[in-house]
Structure 1
Amino acid sequence: MSKSFENIINVQPKRIVSLDEITQQEMLGKGQFGVVYRILYQGQTYAMKQIVKQTLIRHGKINSAVLELKIMYQLDHENIMKLITHFEDENNVYLILEYIDGSNLYDILKRDTRLQETYAIHYYRQIVSTLIYLHSRPTPILHRDIKPENILITKNNAIKLADFGSANSLAKDELRFTFEGTYLFMAPEIYLNKGYTQCVDIWSLGVLLFEILAGHSPFLNKEEENSLMTHEKQTVIRENVLNVRIRFPDTFPPLARDLVRKILRLEPQDRLRLEEVLKHPWLQNAEVLEQLPIVTKNPLENLVSQQISKFSESRKNNNNHLLKISELKKSINETQIQIMKGELEKQQLSEKLKELQEVNDDQTQSPNLVSPEKIVKIEEKYNRLKKEINQLQKEIIQNEMFINKNEMQQSKLNHYKSKIEKQKEIIEKLERELIQLDQKKKLEQINQDRELQEFTKLNNNRNIEQSTSNNSQYTSLLRVTIERFKEFMNFYRNIKQEPETDYESQEDQQWKKEYYAIKKSLQEEFKQEQNLLMKLENENQQLKIKLGQIEAQEQQVQKAEQIVTNLKYGCDLKQNRIDELKKIQQDLENKIDCLNRFIEYNKSSQ
């Protein structure tokens, strides 16, 4: 059963347009939520984005689509793709946009790997000035998805910023917390689930500059991109972004390297502002080119894309024709069945009419008998009522199917809720373990402090004992000088060979060596403890990230619950309608019973 969703986009269009006024020419691209076509409207070429309403509802993107339209209607800048108007029908939303005869930055990088420095400066200056326009509005606008795919380049080498599906406005002193954007271009504060401002777009600018000059992302090289799985890529990207690990190639221009380092800072307040980016030497001292070579696709690529689009359109047309043929076959079969039923009913009615005519010929017409014309009318009413009952039964079956689907969605939601509760329990356990580890660390630190104090005390006592023993040795030597004269002479010779050392200083050096060895071991233990603390802090940060993800999942569950409540409300309305239809059905069945009784009465009276 095909569902229709009328007027889900509550935005006033600039022009009133219908699909009949538009002629489609070529498919330009296909995305997650729809298809983009090149069209002709009132003799001019435009791009038309066709979005399926059912996918918007399924992904909960109706509000973001409304916001995209409102934002694009407000914008008027030479480097931003213009929204001409929009309209909708039962199944789709249509956006008529400015047509850009060129290509996007992603296709150019895919073909040429990286841009020459002159092209990079020319394009980058336009992108920065476009973001200054967005951020300096009375209510600033965040784009939140600056990447090569969303930067179109005309044949005159002017850039056009497109795709405001992730954009949002930002009031003064307001923060956003939505996990929005593309992994490779998202700022650290988005990963850490902190509140963020326009600085996330500045971070994306730094990543974009690195990619157009190096040919790959600063946080994921080509080998990792080709070898790793999707979830592995995401973990590598997150770690590199949070630690700001940037690997510059040797061919990277020095001034551009300085600009990237000043933009890609962990703290948002440490990043360059957009006005400072424009004043950077890499952009200021560069030679501005008035006419750059046109960057377009190869003619072979154009031919191939045209042939593919024609083939896909013909395939779609064939599929549509096959669907129409199957529908016509079904309708033909249904009509044939109805004709067969009608012929049987005609035969029954003709037999009844013959019987009535025979009765009229034999007997005189009495007031109790009913004329054949009335019987025909009654039969027609009976047939009409039968058709109405069949239609009502179909509607009841359809409504029951709709209710079953809603019950399935409710069971899925309950399953997701149970999963989230389990994840919360795991996080609580991890938090408890962290607290226990912190307590253990504190106890170990206290024990280490005690051991250090005891060690210092022992060292002091040893020094005192050493001084007293040395005095006793001196007195004994003085008393037995004659008896140990030879030993003293040997000792004196050793002193001559090593004039700076004596018996006492050697013992002192031994104590010093022991002291420094113990000190080194303590320092190494202290370093190990510091490393453990760093590891625990990293684990704590990862747990915070997981908590942020779980909060985002909870928000999604809340949205899903809202959808379910709306669906329940629709189900209640459908159930009321079903009850009404059942009442009507009962009334009609009662009427049919009355008519059958009336017919039987007439037959018996005849």
Structure 2
Amino acid sequence: MENLVFIGDWIKDRVLGSGSFGVVVLWKHQKTQERLAIKTCKWGDELTEKHKERWTKEVEMLQNCQNPNIVGTKQLPPEFKEGLKPVNPSKLPILCMEYCAGGNLRQYLNLPESCNGLREVQVRQILGDMRSALQFLHHNKITHRDVKPENIVIHVLDGPGNMDNGLQGKKKVIYKLIDLGYAKEIDSNSVCASFVGTLQYLAPEIFYSKTYSNSVDFWSFGLLAFEVICGTRPFLPFMAPVQWMAHVKVKTHDNICIYETFHGDIKCSNEMFPENFISKPLKASLEQWLKVALEWDPKLRGRDAPSKVTFNIPSEEKETSSNVVIFNLLETILSKKIMKVFSVATLTHYAYEIDDKTTAFMLKKWIQDDTHIPVEEQILISQNYVITDGEDTVMKYWDENSISVYLYNKQYLIEEKSDIIVPEIVQRSLKPSLPVELIQNFKNCQLLHRNGFYFVMSQMELYDSLIKGLFVRAESLKNESKELVLRHNFVDKNIGKLHVKEETLKKFTTMGKEHVQNLKANGVGTNLLGGFEKLFKEADELSDDISKLQNAWSQLTVRLESAARRRIEGLSTDLNNFISKFNYQALFTKGQTVYVSYKKIENYNDSKGRDKISDVIQLIKDCFKLRNKILMEIRNQRFYCSIKDLSIELSKISEIITNASNFSETLDSHSNSLTDKLSNCMWSTISLLSSDAHNLVDLPYSVVSIQKSNFKIGEPVSTHCMKMVQSTNRVEEDENLKSLIEESLTLRQNHIKLTEKFKTSKNYLHNKAKLDFSFLAED
């Protein structure tokens, strides 16, 4: 194979991998640039029939497996059939596969920055892609039997629009399962009984040479999931399988991790190691899933109840059959929406599971429980805009790849004292009384290097989030200033309209006061004017309130104009200058060097080992110093002070505008109500005068005399009179009074009648005196 370089237009690029009896070579077409991964068997007649059968089976299986997460096969170009004969002495089928340029997962896990696991976006995709691949194989009754990071390759997608923003501009990838050489079809009449696969990923039943089913893939999948999250396997990774299996055998269903403590004790845990890069809600959900995947009993593993059924084949179903839940459960977990929140105030990352019904107020309540920042003091910003309490849902702000929301406190930008999360072994390493032999222990030394570098990376991420949070706040302040101007103008128009109403009302009340004053001076109609006096007083009070509002509003306008003129355009330059002066890049590079170099030391008890320990301890100390220096220096920066002051000022102005808007609405409502009251009072008075004038004796403006009044005893003179309530002990007196009034009125009426008769007789006599009586005279 080494001497074979050209086959037609194809040129050998490099060897991708070599196994016990197979080799995979990358070939590149010189004209089309197409690449193919071609696997050939490097042995000849010395191969056993079992090996030949395994090889042929792998080729057939791959050709029949059409799934995006299983490496695909391609048609072998004709020229290779002849060209590869010299390097294929066994004459077994040649496997032609698609080329995955991203390497395999083990290479990524071996990187120093992956020492404590991969980032959440990568973890999610790996678990989702492997779920798809294994579910497909099991559905087709195929057990892989060798699931491990080395057998997962990374296919990089080409073409425009295939950039993944969640991976800092890297191209999108697909994870594919390869190497079905150990895979075996299982039907209703067979189970596996061969010792295959990588020892560290073997399920217990394979290790003990027992018969097994496809549940062995569940175990390997669980180990793989734990490793990509935490950077290490869950069960005593420093021991050989024959050692750690004995401890795993006695674990409970809830135990998903067995580890050796700092002092050498063996302990079980229901949780993953806290030093990882995934969010707490996802971590909690996956811990429940790992309990199902890492169940010791293969009858329980991956299922919801004990079962001896390998696949859900109707002919095999028993009364005690159960369902495979491991794939659907994982799919449900990965479909959950987790909103990541970074608190600039406390320099802490938070995460919350949300759905379509999660409101901004609910999110703030959760944050209050974690940070103790009251809901009313929180400022949540996403996409440079403030999230208000009135938001129906926060789902529109969710971003699966990065921080969705930044949290700020209205009272301050960064707390004076913020908590810092430090791995336990890092804390121990800084104690001067720590015995040297304990820290030089191989297991402790490796853990110190891993968690020490993780501590540097976690502080670097916090710093990056802080800088991004300051940029976000600066941009949001620009938008907030514009929105406040719009809100101010809207309220200003309403106050202007209120002022017009107040002027109209003032003219109306001024005229009313003058008219009432004239009536009082003439002593006319004063018995009906008490209600107007009360309304005039309310109008004066309303006018005073409106005047106070206008004065305060004028001051606020000046204040807002001053705040809007404050320029923070130079913030980007100032921030970039600060970042160039203070950053973790040098520490990160140093941490990589320290971590890589310690792996090359075989004996940690010699002088070189002690030097490496001192290097990582110094790295940790430098990280603490840099953090403290950054937090001290940043508070004295101009951009920090500008953001803090303007944030507080705009927050106060916003509160004042809100209060002024509410107050103006209240005054407007009061003005409308008062106008209605005055109108009703005026028209009621006019109605009273027009409807009851003929029954009243002494009404203002009335020309009707009391002599022409016609009313009955016991009835009110006016329909607007209130009936007096009589006490029982005065009934007799009232009856007597009534009788006297009736007699008096009778006498008055008789007197009027007699007077009328007298007038009639007088007129008659007067007219009679004018008659001519001359005929009565004597001659």
Bucket of the pairwise TM-score, normalised by the shorter protein = 0.3 to 0.5
Question: Which of structures 1 and 2 has the larger relative contact order (alpha carbons within 8 angstroms, sep 6+)?
Answer: 1
The TM-score with structure 2 as length reference comes to: 0.32
Pair member with larger Rg? 2
More helix by share: 1
The TM-score with structure 1 as length reference comes to: 0.40
